[in-house]
Structure 1
Amino acid sequence: MKVMADDGMLSWDESVFRDEHVFEVDYLPETFHHRENQLDGLQYALRPAVRGSRPLNAMVRGPPGTGKTTAIQKLFAELDGRRGVRTVRVNCQVDSTRYAVFSRIFEAIFEYEPPASGISFKSLFEQITDHLTDEDEVLTVCLDDVNYLFYEGEASETLYSLLRAHETHAGAKVGVLLVSSDLDLDVVAELDSRVQSVFRPEEVFFPAYGESEVVDILDERVRRGFREGVVGPTVLDRVAELTAGTGDLRVGIDLLRRAGLHAEGRASERVEAEDVETAYEKSRHVHLSRRVRGLTDSERALLRVVAEYDGDRAGDVYEAFHDETDLGYTRYSEIVNKLDRVGLIEATYTTVEGRGRSRELSLAYDADAVRDRLD
């Protein structure tokens, strides 16, 4: 079946996209604009691995959507082809315990997952370090979104095991890259003193992109991802303006894709301003979607309760949360602190007459947007 075949209209088997994958989160661009200094800093830290030595540790910081993960992935892709070098990137939003991190490292090295139970951390650790020494491999581990390890109280133990590997296993050479989007988190200060004494990282900072830089980057995505003439300069400038307002390049990339899909829904061969404005209502919450996806069932349950009791005192919210999950107050308080730190809720102290100080819990986002992503 065909839609209207007038000029400027698409048929069912036509698309405005040349390559829709260009707008997916896992797409690795061939060229990486406006991050030359950051790449140089990371290459400096990683260069010893190519010579068979332990790489320098590095602390990579910057707001969300500023190219941190992309830079790591590009450099790791270059290193992976070299003999004697092993790279592993761990998403700590998903793997937020020491055991989970080392399970991911184990899987990357041996190409199968360790047993879900019945194997101790000590055994897991020794199999990894035995392999490194037997094969004379240098391991570089990127703990991406390392802030989530801090939220779970797992950061110091995880880093201690990685950084001290050469002491427990002579010949094991391990370097660590930490990546954090939480600018309020002082990573080194939050670590145990025993970890601080050995963790002396190179600092690499990724600032937010300026609007002209956003235009450059999105223009290349447009040329690679859309057919010629689909997105005009005026539309691209509007996408860049909205993206720069959020400080997150991922918003702009998602916005281009959604605007293209909206244009297709109108059977139009061009993306117009109306497509961008409509799509922005969802794209502006791309970081919210990402944060919600990483939550456990109990964390999602609390976020759902806060959405219902937005602005209420923590004690009242706890009663509703306990009724739903049967979890105790200690665990409840831990989850409140985590949701506050990841920016999903705001926990503010207020003075209640006759009761002293109490916390009020409110959403950091529109309640309907939160509910949509929890359903």
Structure 2
Amino acid sequence: MSEIDDIFNAAYKPRVFKRREVLLPDYVPEFLPHRDDETKRVALTLSPALRMERPSNIFIYGLTGTGKTAVTKFVLRKLEENAKQKGIKVGYIYANVRHRETPYRILADIADYFNMRIPFTGLSTGEVFNRIVKKLTNLEGVYIIVLDEIDFLVKKYGDDLLYNLTRINEQLSKSRVSIIGITNSVKMIESLDPRVKSSLSEEEIVFSPYDAKQLQDILNQRAEEAFNERALDEEVIPLCAALAAREHGDARRALDLLRVAGEIAERENRNVVTKDDVMKARVEIERDRVGDVVKTLPLHGKLIMTSILLATAMGKDYATTGDIYDNYKKLISKLGLEEITLRRVSGILSELDMLGIISGRIISRGRYGKTRVISLAAEVNAIIQALKEDPMIADLLNEVKYDDNRKNNSL
């Protein structure tokens, strides 16, 4: 028997997992601990759909991993089941804006729900929207459109699509449409056109972070379904909960830690997951998270990350926006590209801060006033390795030397 056969046989008979999928981000359980109030508010807001009335639009916000998407999907699933039992047409369309990227693809997803054939490219966004409106004028029912991570759409493309969707009922006679916007950014609503803001935020629901005890309850519930009996050391769940509680009460982070710790134990052919597996999982997740974020940055975003590396080299804990911009201009000059403005660089730095790759704060410089400083919030070597996957950036980073025992690197 080959080594590959051994791997596949081990995968066929898992040592620690019973139902690994229970720990995946898109799994929606039948019970959501510590989210009763939020679940009831979403359900009450959507309940008019069962009378064939348009529910109020909902704007849901809170930090990553606070149960926003899970609660929304859970309630919508229940709503759809109840409507079916009563012979009422209620449906929902879920789109993760970060994954769909463009207004065109979001509208294509909506069209696909109604069995409309939309080419991958070739039509204007306005034309796709008009086709959806035409389709809805011939249908009855209440349809709820969920736009998850809606802030990515607004930052990149503005709020035109939101404006059109929140006004769509003005063109309909038989059917009704409601919007649920979900975001991690509390400030995102402030950036919207006042007309969109008033329409979208008819109902606002804020999801607060979980504390360590609540995270333990969530993990205990999932672990009972996910793992074989006695597959977890007693320290594992409290440690996962404590680590995630430090990071703004992120349940998704806690579940990822538990799942990856289990995968590490499986790969090493062990029957029990230990706290050492959790610490290894923490390093592995951080490396993968940073890599995914940095690799998907546009070119100027990568150049700004490279500029931060340059500015925080030689033992510096932080750099000013001016230092970073000076380095950025040198890199742009070397590549022969057109530079973006300092204001746009500041905007990209804010986006990187929100993604958790860097950390920005305001410090006082006495009589010279206050200034914003930037420090790296992710593991430096992971950033460098992700940047080097872009050949253009790799050429700029050939001189990078990083010591794993130090937080900073030398360029």
Q: TM-score band, normalised by the shorter chain?
A: 0.7 to 0.9
Partner of 2:316: none
How many residues are matched? 363
Q: Distance in 1 between matches of 2:77 and 2:288?
A: 26
Matched residue SS, 1:209: coil
1:60 alignment partner AA: I
CA shift in 2, pair 1:107/1:224, >3 Å: same
2:97 alignment partner AA: C
Matched residue SS, 1:175: strand
Q: What is the Cα deviation at residue 365 of structure 1?
A: 2.1
Q: Distance in 2 between matches of 1:153 and 1:58?
A: 21
Alpha-carbon contact 2:138-2:174 (below 8 Å) kept: no
CA shift in 2, pair 1:196/1:208, >3 Å: closer
Cα deviation 1:305-352 (Å, max 9, x = unaligned): 544554342132243256559354157665445334444335678999
CA shift in 2, pair 1:105/1:11, >3 Å: closer
Q: What is the Cα deviation at residue 91 of structure 1?
A: 1.3
Alpha-carbon contact 2:303-2:331 (below 8 Å) kept: no
Q: Distance in 1 between matches of 2:80 and 2:296?
A: 28
Could you say what the CA RMSD is over the residues aligned between the two structures, in angstroms?
3.3
Q: Distance in 2 between matches of 1:132 and 1:286?
A: 42
Cα deviation 1:73-111 (Å, max 9, x = unaligned): 212223445342221122122334433332222233326
**Equivalent pairs: percent with the same residue?**
27
Q: Give the TM-score, by structure 2 length.
A: 0.76
Partner of 2:396: none
Partner of 1:144: 148
Alpha-carbon contact 2:144-2:180 (below 8 Å) kept: yes
Out of 361, 364, 369, the residue aligned to residue 377 of structure 2 is: 364
Deviates more, 1:295-304 or 1:195-204: 295-304
Partner of 1:43: 43
Matches within 5 A, 1:71-150: 71-81=71-81, 82=84, 83-110=88-115, 112=117, 114-150=118-154
Q: What is the Cα deviation at residue 230 of structure 1?
A: 0.7
Partner of 2:203: 202
Matched residue SS, 2:178: strand
2:381 alignment partner AA: D
CA shift in 2, pair 1:319/1:208, >3 Å: same
Q: Distance in 2 between matches of 1:304 and 1:221?
A: 40
1:250 alignment partner AA: R
* Residues 1:326 and 2:326 aligned together: no
Q: What is the Cα deviation at residue 195 of structure 1?
A: 2.2
Partner of 2:60: 60
CA shift in 2, pair 1:283/1:340, >3 Å: closer
Q: What is the Cα deviation at residue 116 of structure 1?
A: 3.1
CA shift in 2, pair 1:68/1:209, >3 Å: same
Q: Distance in 1 between matches of 2:307 and 2:334?
A: 10
CA shift in 2, pair 1:181/1:215, >3 Å: same
Partner of 1:233: 234
* Structure 2, gaps ≥5 residues long: 4-8, 313-318, 390-411
Matched residue SS, 2:98: coil
Partner of 1:7: none
Partner of 2:23: 23
Matches within 5 A, 1:333-352: 335-346=348-359
CA shift in 2, pair 1:325/1:97, >3 Å: farther
Deviates more, 1:238-247 or 1:166-175: 166-175
2:146 alignment partner AA: C
